């Protein structure tokens, strides 16, 4: 078929070149954005008197018909037409003749694809934000149910201090909340309308760029035509945001995988989100969590691919930039696949409170509270720290927990220790005493939950 750019060439491109050059296999998903952008452009051309108004309206009507046909599965895209932009233009021209050829007036595929990808990423940004909203609500729901469920908090994967499951879940709420905020911030920088930038230097036609931006719902127009067609910062930024989402999903998956093991036995995965072994009949594997953890790698790889594509490109547009789409599309698809199944897996978890409490009772998680007890009696913290370190060593040698020591044993370490120590170092007191803002005490976590619910309401 004749190329839209074929006038300068004396021979047809090689078939292998056509196949190599074509992007329709993956940019076909931009069909809706391409059509909506073309409609806005056509209406502006008509309003400005650049093309006849009746032809502008004919183009709009026909493009709407093409959109309906595509969504009804009646359109088959052609590799020879290279990309979604030329495919739709070819269909349009076949249906209405010369009037269809006027659509590209004052427009280049460079600013056209920049428009389409911005519109698409804004839409997907919103869709992913909605999925994160569901996850955040699930975390809040679990936290409300487990305000007093005690488990050990860890550092270096060693038992450290007692906290609550609600406090633990709300830590993840903060992570995913930041993801929502990052996506919102990313959308602000994506929400600029590039059409009218042409190939790189704008056009001599009196385009009304603000009209197009308003019709398509953009907040503003791009300010520099060179930047507008060569910028993919918004795609890089979204890829980073999605990579960070996957970091958080992977971290939580790792914990749930550990927690579901016999060694921890803190949770049991619902059968609907577990698999078995083809050889070992006793196995119940946390495959969903493992797959989410594994899929983080491909999203990180997509970010690196995008950064590598863009790192050495001179202004303005270069064909390398066609490689932006598969990477960002894959990142979007992967995150959209992971979030719903992860959220449902989390919502159906069975938390084993007794096992969590037993774990918190071991590992000397109340050692810091014994040290603080002595500080309140007037001993400097560094001295108190050394005393309790020796006490822990004694307990290890005698296979005892701190709260199992007799008063005589306590007194051997410090005569200031009294009977009240047993109450002061109970797990419940260790948790409830940490009521500072941000702490694990129920009063503090309830404030965190209230703030979380306010955030969700404002962002709904």
What is the model's pLDDT at position 396? 96
The C-alpha atoms of residue 214 and residue 449 are separated, in whole angstroms, by 38
Rounded alpha-carbon distances, angstroms, from residue 322 to 61, 143, 196: 30, 45, 20
Within a domain: residue 53? Answer: yes
Q: Do 19 and 100 lie in a common domain?
A: yes
Q: Do 79 and 190 lie in a common domain?
A: no
Q: Do 403 and 370 lie in a common domain?
A: yes
Cis preceding-peptide flag for 316 (omega within 30 of 0): yes
The C-alpha atoms of residue 118 and residue 126 are separated, in whole angstroms, by 12
Within a domain: residue 399? Answer: yes
* Catalytic site residue from 156, 262, 278, 460: 156
**In this structure, what CATH number is given to the domain that contains residue 29?**
1.10.275.10
- Distance, first Cα to last Cα, the chain: 49
Q: Do 180 and 78 lie in a common domain?
A: no
**Cβ atoms 24, 81 nearer than 8 A:** yes
Within a domain: residue 442? Answer: yes
Indicate the DSSP class of residue 276: -
CA within 13 Å, CB half, 94: 10
Specify whether 460 is catalytic. no
Q: Do 271 and 383 lie in a common domain?
A: no
Rounded alpha-carbon distances, angstroms, from residue 160 to 163, 167, 365: 9, 15, 5
Within a domain: residue 28? Answer: yes
State the residue range of the domain holding 25: 6-105
* Catalytic site residue from 123, 277, 398, 443: 277
Q: Do 328 and 398 lie in a common domain?
A: no
Specify whether 385 is catalytic. no
Reference 319, options 230, 193, 224; nearest CA is 230
The C-alpha atoms of residue 146 and residue 37 are separated, in whole angstroms, by 49
Cα 413 vs. chain centroid, distance in angstroms?
51
Rounded alpha-carbon distances, angstroms, from residue 269 to 121, 143, 285, 313: 34, 18, 9, 48
Domain endpoint, select from 303, 323, 351: 351
Indicate the DSSP class of residue 14: P
Domain endpoint, select from 85, 105, 125: 105
Within a domain: residue 150? Answer: no
The count of residues in the chain is 460
Which tokens in the block code for residue 453? Answer: 């619910």
Q: Do 330 and 371 lie in a common domain?
A: no
Helix (H, G, I), strand (E, B) or coil at 153: strand
The C-alpha atoms of residue 192 and residue 228 are separated, in whole angstroms, by 9
Domain endpoint, select from 317, 351, 385: 351
The C-alpha atoms of residue 169 and residue 172 are separated, in whole angstroms, by 5
Rounded alpha-carbon distances, angstroms, from residue 156 to 78, 149, 167, 174, 322: 56, 22, 18, 21, 44
- Give every CB contact of residue 313 below 8 A, 6+ residues apart in sequence: 230, 320, 321
What is the model's pLDDT at position 80? 86
Q: Do 163 and 226 lie in a common domain?
A: yes
**Cβ atoms 110, 198 nearer than 8 A:** yes
Indicate the DSSP class of residue 273: G
**Cβ atoms 42, 59 nearer than 8 A:** yes
**In this structure, what CATH number is given to the domain that contains residue 370?**
1.10.40.30
**In this structure, what CATH number is given to the domain that contains residue 255?**
1.20.200.10
Which tokens in the block code for residue 357? Answer: 């409490």
pTM recorded for the entire structure = 0.93
Q: Do 319 and 369 lie in a common domain?
A: no
Q: Do 384 and 339 lie in a common domain?
A: no
What is the model's pLDDT at position 103? 97
CA within 13 Å, CB half, 257: 16
Beta strand ranges found along 185-266 (DSSP E): 192-193, 220-221
What is the model's pLDDT at position 204? 97
Q: Would you give per-residue pLDDT tens digits along the chain (460 residues)? A: 555 645 565 566 666 666 667 789 999 999 999 999 999 999 999 999 999 999 999 999 999 999 999 999 999 999 888 899 999 999 999 999 999 999 999 999 999 999 999 999 999 999 999 999 999 999 999 999 999 999 999 999 999 999 999 999 999 999 999 999 999 999 999 999 999 999 999 999 999 999 999 999 999 999 999 999 999 999 999 999 999 999 999 999 999 999 999 999 999 999 999 888 889 888 899 999 999 999 999 999 999 999 999 999 999 999 999 999 999 999 999 999 999 999 999 999 999 999 999 999 999 999 999 999 999 999 999 999 999 999 999 999 999 999 999 999 999 999 999 999 999 999 999 999 999 999 999 999 999 999 999 999 998 8
Helix (H, G, I), strand (E, B) or coil at 49: coil
Which tokens in the block code for residue 398? Answer: 């005698």
Helix (H, G, I), strand (E, B) or coil at 417: coil
Q: Do 39 and 124 lie in a common domain?
A: no
Angle between helices 233-259 and 287-310 (to 10 degrees): 160
What is the model's pLDDT at position 2? 59
Q: Do 36 and 172 lie in a common domain?
A: no
CA within 13 Å, CB half, 290: 12
What is the model's pLDDT at position 277? 83
Within a domain: residue 78? Answer: yes
Number of helices (H), then strands (E), belonging to the chain: the values are 20, 6
């Amino acid at each position: 078929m004749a190329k839209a750019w074929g006038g300068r060439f004396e021979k047809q491109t090689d078939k292998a070149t056509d196949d190599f050059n074509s992007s329709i296999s993956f940019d076909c998903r931009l069909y809706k954005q391409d059509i909506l952008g073309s409609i806005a452009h056509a209406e502006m051309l008509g309003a400005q008197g650049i093309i006849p108004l009746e032809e502008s309206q004919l183009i709009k009507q026909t493009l709407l018909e093409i959109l309906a046909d595509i969504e009804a599965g009646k359109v088959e895209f052609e590799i020879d037409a290279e990309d979604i932009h030329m495919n739709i233009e070819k269909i349009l021209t076949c249906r209405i003749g010369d009037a269809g050829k006027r659509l590209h007036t004052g427009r280049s595929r460079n600013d056209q694809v920049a428009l389409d990808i911005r519109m698409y990423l804004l839409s997907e940004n919103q869709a992913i934000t909605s999925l994160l909203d569901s996850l955040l609500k699930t975390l809040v729901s679990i936290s409300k149910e487990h305000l007093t469920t005690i488990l050990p908090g860890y550092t270096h994967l060693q038992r450290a201090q007692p906290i609550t499951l609600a406090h633990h879940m709300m830590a993840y709420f903060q992570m995913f909340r930041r993801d929502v905020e990052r996506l919102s911030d990313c959308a602000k920088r994506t929400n600029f309308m590039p059409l009218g930038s042409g190939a790189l230097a704008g056009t001599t036609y009196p385009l009304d760029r603000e009209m197009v931006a308003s019709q398509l719902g953009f907040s503003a127009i791009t300010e520099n035509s060179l930047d507008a067609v060569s910028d993919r910062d918004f795609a890089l930024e979204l890829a980073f945001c999605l990579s960070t989402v996957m970091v958080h999903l992977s971290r939580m998956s790792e914990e749930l995988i550990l927690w579901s093991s016999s060694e921890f036995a803190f949770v049991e995965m619902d059968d609907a989100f577990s698999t078995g072994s083809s050889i070992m009949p006793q196995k119940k594997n946390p495959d969903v969590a493992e797959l989410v953890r594994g899929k983080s790698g491909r999203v990180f790889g997509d970010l690196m691919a995008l950064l590598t594509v863009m790192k050495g490109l001179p202004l303005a547009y270069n064909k390398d930039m066609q490689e932006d789409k598969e990477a960002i599309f894959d990142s979007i698809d992967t995150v959209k696949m992971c979030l719903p199944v992860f959220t449902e897996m989390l919502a159906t978890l069975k938390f084993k409170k007794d096992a969590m409490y037993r774990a918190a009772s071991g590992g000397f998680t109340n050692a810091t509270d014994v040290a603080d007890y002595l500080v309140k009696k007037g001993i400097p913290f560094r001295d108190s720290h050394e005393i309790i370190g020796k006490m822990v060593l004694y307990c290890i040698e005698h296979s005892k927990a701190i709260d199992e020591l007799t008063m005589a044993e306590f007194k051997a370490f410090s005569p200031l220790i009294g009977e009240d120590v047993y109450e002061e170092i109970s797990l419940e007191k260790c948790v409830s005493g940490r009521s500072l803002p941000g702490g694990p005490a129920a009063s503090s976590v309830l404030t965190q939950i209230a703030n979380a619910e306010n955030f969700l309401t404002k962002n709904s």
